[in-house]
Structure 1
Amino acid sequence: MARCRQSKFACQLPISLVLPLPRKPSKGHPPVVSEAALTAEEKERLNARRALRSASWAAVFYLITTDILGPFNAPYAISQVGYAPGVILYFIMGAMACYTGLLLWWLFLKLDSDVFPVKTYSDLMERIFGKTSRHFSAILQSIQLIINVGTICLSNGQSLSQITKEHLCFAVCIVIWAFVGMVIGQIRTLKSYGWLANSAVWINLGIIFISMGFISHSPPNYSAASNAYGISAGPVETAAFVSQTLPNKVNGIMNMVFAYGGAMIFPEMLAEMRRPWDFWKGMCCAQALIFVAYLLYGLFVYSYQGQFTLSIAYQGVSKYGWQTVGNVMGLLTGIIAAGLYGNIGIKVAYYSIVEEMFHGPPLNSRKGRFIWTGMVLLYWALAFIVGAAIPQVQTISGLVAAVCIMQFTYTFPPALIFGFYFIKDGRDPSTGTINWRAGIFAGSPWKVLFKIFNFFLALAALSMACLGMYGSGTAIKLTFETSQATSFGCTPPV
């Protein structure tokens, strides 16, 4: 059994159960792989990855709170459903996101080892559900990361367009930030993002408090609302329950889901921690801060701007000077978050394609450095295409939340913990076969209820994701019908 690097837990499952090994075992005898049995190249990779494990739980806190667009789409989300559903849904989804984050943390502690480290979300998927699930997870993760980076390029492009008073072509505003991302994307380790992530959190909090001040003393940006939604100026209207079409309500809910999208890279963060046991501290503190910041800011801005609330709230004020203050500060935090997404996304691609598929050099080698540079350039070029193709932050955010975030945050974690205990309790060590009845009903009554609860939680989350895909897809269609912005065009959406 491979040695676990967590001091408080020992690996409870044999490697032959949780990970397909490169060496073929003799029939009926699962292999025991030790570090001494590794080749020189494998030992070099192992030592290199150990050297990268330097992040603390405080760094994880900052990385998770940076791993969001900021709370600036929360007012739009609440404007689509109203006060009552907004508060209830943010609380329920926040509590469940914290719960599923703890599930991922627990699984990492159980399955990670020095010989076979868990580096990505896909590793967890493979060790429980097999190789096919690994590829599915990697593809879905890559889609989410590239769309997230494209979304941030889009939001920064909107900010730059407002700053220049629309004198610069909107597509050019987006491509500028793609070039900036190509520069900061050369950072390879999460530790190097620590001070950037730290500053981004405080800048985001500064934007919240400053924009709350000027939003309360400024009428809504009626012209921007007209461009975005096709609605004319009038009195601000708010309601406990908003009368909206089902697609708009679902898209609003998916924008709430976007707040809790960090779970997708939790295994990557854990893989770079000195003490993965401490992850729960940073994760729980980050989820609490995200919940409070999003909800309070969303309720405050919606109260003042009502149906005119924009997808990026601080852009919804009518005075240019106050728009510029929020936009300039938002540019800084946006590009830091985009850099984080790009860093993880390129690592996923590097491990899956360069190292595993083509048996290329390790990431920290000299050749790996050159390959990384090329992948950064390609990745951010694709991000520009995504950002310019759907020129509305609220619709693209809802789409990625439905297709990807719902799965990584709400569907996969309970499914993984169910699969973990199903295999552990139902597998016959002598034959390797699994008895499904024992897999579900073995153990104490509380353990059985725990497994059944997570099974139905995964099904419920998957059903909600399907509804979200319908709502967000319909919202995108309606957006192109009412918005003045077009794909790769010079007309800004705000």
Structure 2
Amino acid sequence: MESKAPGTACHSDERLSTAHPVTYDDVDVFGYEGNHQIVYKTLSWQMVAVLMICEIVSNGMLSLPSSLAVVGTVPGLILIIFLGIFATYTAWLLVQFKLRHPDVHNMGDAGYILFGPIGREVLAFGTVLFAIFGTGSQMLAGEIALATLSDNKLCAMLYTGIFAIPILIFSFPRTFSKLTHLSIAACVSILVAGLVGMIGAGVHPTPNRSVQAAKSSDFYSAFVSITNPVFAYAGHFMFFTLISEMRRPADAMKAAYWLQGFATTFYAVFAAVVYAYAGNDVASPSFSSLAPKWQKAAYGIALPNFLIAGALYSHTASKLFFVRLFRKSRHLHSHTVRGWAVWTALIVASNGAAFVLAVGVPIFNYLLGLVASLFAAWYTYGVAGFFWLHDAYYDFDGWRTWAKRWPQTSLAVFTIVAGAFICVAGTYVNVRGIVDAYRDGTVSGAFSC
């Protein structure tokens, strides 16, 4: 990448001082695509909303009823709704930052603007790491679904391998537009699966269940449960990449509103209904608390979502490397041997790494929580505050703008503090969980059934 920070060409002061104003496409990561073989900027805001919903509203929601079992219905629902509103605000900050810096393609590019070369490498590394762990998480969700459907007739590692193959295949398209129709099916599948799960829980409620409006708990147990709704919204790390492939990036916030509105409503209803009928003994994932036939129905219907969400994650990890390697070169927009060879290698590597981590690391779920705490907490919440503070300072009147617009400044600082708290506390509970698991002997062997 150029030594100049991505996006600085579109600062408002430069527009005002230039005889020929810089347009979005002049500095956009993909530029003008009129005569290119591979065209990226084809997504409508509706399709971006579908991709966002498919990626975020996935297997993470299945842990929400167990969160209510720890803290109670009222605190749990308040947290889910608050986090949905908060994530909408941080999405707005992210979109505004992207519109001011069109050549920001991923969190690494944003990190360069905020913190220089070190910031770029740290945020890019975190994006790739979280995306690969997200792919592995979807593989494990697919493993649980396949095992449930077949009554556990095969080794769990084989189920993971079987599910990893279609994820690998669906990761291959070079543009997100090739995944939009599959993502529509994936969105429908998780919605219907959630409805089936709620109906199944209502038809066969847990006998003698205990349901509480509010519960007291120690900090460790409470925050472990809180991380479930926190990370159920952890999809902002993909937003820059998705917006970069929109026909009209100015419409990006419409997609974010639909995403957060759907996710918050669906999360709250699903968590409340399943917890009400399953009680404090609800499993995580919650479909496993259903009667056998309902389990199979719910998991079977949810399979397309697990599949496409995993493909979106691995696609994102690969694209970060690909765009960084070939930005402004013919390999980005043309069907060249080198371009496709590198893309294929990246897709295979990202999916292979996800599979090895999922089946070969006994503490994978703890590590997933750790990675989410270290990076996703910042991507969804904390770093958005830095976006606003940076642009308010450099595009306007420095610290005077901060003082004049003190409510917005206060909110920006709050997002940074919130991200830092989630990061530190989440890291603590996950490290403690790893220590406790090894101490209690509950850690299985690597590559075991």
CA 1:167–1:43 in 2, change beyond 3 Å: closer, same or farther? closer
Partners of 2:298 and 2:443 lie apart in 1 by: 22
Query: Any unmatched runs of 5+ in structure 2?
Result: 1-6
Kept after mapping to 1: 8 A contact 2:39/2:333: no
- Alignment partner of 2:90 out of 100, 104, 108: 100
- Alignment partner of 1:404 out of 372, 375, 383: 375
Aligned residues: 432
For residues 275-315 of structure 1, what are the alpha-carbon distances to aligned partners after superposition, in whole Å with 9 as ceiling and x for unaligned?
11111111101101000101110111111222322222112
Q: Does 1:120 align with 2:106?
A: yes
Which stretch has the larger CA shift, 453-462 or 84-93?
453-462
Kindly name which structure, 1 or 2, has the bigger radius of gyration based on alpha carbons. Answer: 1
Partners of 2:406 and 2:118 lie apart in 1 by: 27
Q: Does 1:362 align with 2:364?
A: no
Give the deviation of 1:442 after TM superposition. Answer: 3.7
- Alignment partner of 2:236 out of 263, 272, 275: 263
Partner of 1:51: 39
Kept after mapping to 1: 8 A contact 2:403/2:409: no
Q: Does 1:274 align with 2:247?
A: yes
Pairing of 1:119-198 with structure 2 (within 5 A):
119-198=105-184
Q: Does 1:418 align with 2:389?
A: yes
Kept after mapping to 1: 8 A contact 2:105/2:244: yes
With the length of structure 1 as denominator, give the TM-score of the two structures: 0.79
Pairwise CA RMSD: 3.1
Partner of 1:63: 51
Q: Does 1:468 align with 2:426?
A: yes
Give the deviation of 1:393 after TM superposition. Answer: 8.2
CA 1:469–1:11 in 2, change beyond 3 Å: closer, same or farther? same
Partner of 2:4: none
Kept after mapping to 2: 8 A contact 1:441/1:448: no
Kept after mapping to 1: 8 A contact 2:209/2:277: yes
CA 1:456–1:161 in 2, change beyond 3 Å: closer, same or farther? same
Kept after mapping to 1: 8 A contact 2:168/2:347: yes
Partners of 2:291 and 2:22 lie apart in 1 by: 65
- Alignment partner of 1:441 out of 400, 403, 410: 400
Kept after mapping to 2: 8 A contact 1:251/1:395: no
Kept after mapping to 2: 8 A contact 1:355/1:361: yes
Q: Does 1:326 align with 2:264?
A: no
CA 1:483–1:193 in 2, change beyond 3 Å: closer, same or farther? farther
Partners of 1:372 and 1:312 lie apart in 2 by: 34
Partner of 2:14: 14
Kept after mapping to 1: 8 A contact 2:389/2:402: no
Give the deviation of 1:455 after TM superposition. Answer: 2.3
Query: Any unmatched runs of 5+ in structure 1?
Result: 16-28, 221-233, 427-438
Give the deviation of 1:322 after TM superposition. Answer: 1.9
Give the deviation of 1:79 after TM superposition. Answer: 2.0
- For 1:136, give the aligned amino acid: V
Q: Does 1:215 align with 2:185?
A: no
CA 1:119–1:296 in 2, change beyond 3 Å: closer, same or farther? same
Kept after mapping to 2: 8 A contact 1:412/1:458: yes
Partners of 2:402 and 2:62 lie apart in 1 by: 46
SS of the aligned residue for 1:118 comes to coil
SS of the aligned residue for 2:39 comes to helix
Give the deviation of 1:67 after TM superposition. Answer: 0.9
With the length of structure 2 as denominator, give the TM-score of the two structures: 0.87
Partners of 2:21 and 2:115 lie apart in 1 by: 21
SS of the aligned residue for 1:362 comes to helix
- Alignment partner of 1:486 out of 436, 444, 449: 444
Which stretch has the larger CA shift, 42-51 or 260-269?
42-51
Give the deviation of 1:149 after TM superposition. Answer: 0.5
CA 1:338–1:452 in 2, change beyond 3 Å: closer, same or farther? same
Partners of 2:441 and 2:200 lie apart in 1 by: 26
Identity level (%): 21
SS of the aligned residue for 1:261 comes to coil
Kept after mapping to 1: 8 A contact 2:64/2:267: yes
Which stretch has the larger CA shift, 396-405 or 52-61?
396-405
Give the deviation of 1:369 after TM superposition. Answer: 1.2
Give the deviation of 1:14 after TM superposition. Answer: 3.4
Give the deviation of 1:389 after TM superposition. Answer: 4.3
Partners of 1:88 and 1:49 lie apart in 2 by: 49
CA 1:44–1:301 in 2, change beyond 3 Å: closer, same or farther? closer
Partners of 2:112 and 2:305 lie apart in 1 by: 34
CA 1:252–1:47 in 2, change beyond 3 Å: closer, same or farther? farther
